Structure 1
């Protein structure tokens, strides 16, 4: 992708591994006002960021409740939560499209955020529930003996210790929401609201009919960069979250 992005448009099909002539023309073409790629990056950030924040807020509360409270039917609730994640996205597009037309959500951010949230929450709740279960209950009990309320014990003691699991869940959720394509394609037809993945799929060449491989590769590299940066910054916490409980 990087090599193709840095070739001249006229050299896209040359056989050299290293471009004979380096050029940033493809990057300029990707950010052409006609494509609307710059705006689409902001839209992707809004959608993925909103999904990640909402997933963490709702998922943390639900997971802690399921991990700590004893109530009738808890295993059934967990089963239902994980079952909802098994539905293929393509099977939900038509019902969601009809629903969003009826409630006038077509061409809105929530038409992309809510479905992505429903796909991300089951995995987040399941992961965080298993993480909270590994933490001894004595931590909260000791905090409450020292004067904390249950909410304060969760916020001041449990949440900092759960940081690796929270970061892991956040990164996985953000990547899934950032890469989401099907719902964004089906629910949005206004250029101003489309996400980067949808806009890239609609790139046209100089004639409007040819395929601009160079600018598509350049846009693909640009879309990948935020994910790579996020993983590099938080890699230690991600590894800690994925391996927590593996060794006692």
Structure 2
């Protein structure tokens, strides 16, 4: 057993700031041993009265295995923190999407004539027509065509093309362009691609961070000297 006085002296001296890192690095370079130069330096700092007790009882294997456990504990702590961050962020994003998209879900459930895609973009026709006959009148004309299309009388586009209140001001080409859903996506596609790119970059960064946690035997044998040996 280590005498209480010796244990107290060793514990008081076992501080990185009190050790000569230059001596330790030089010892590692000379011997190739990752631990003995640290023990030698700690023994010197403890002093002659109690330095002989520094390595008493504990083997090199005891110390390196303790280093392994410390490194694994640190890696486990970091991994749990990362997983907690991902789970919290994912949950928040999910809640935001659920809240923001409720009205959109409602619009998707609104009835439309089967196969009549034009009804989805009927507002575009109303806005274009409203510029020349007034918004209220345009709303009435387009709404009438939409209801007749929903009742199965004809397609929405066909009803618009046969209505002189529409064709007086909008050509067939105008209607084709206005009823094309792809013309109303705006920046959706570029924003989606940009978001996907950021997500891929984040995943790569996470993978790089995990790869930086060195828990190999070479690293773990000097858990206590990893800071000391760094420049």
TM-score by length of 2: 0.24
Structure with the higher helix share, 1 or 2 = 2
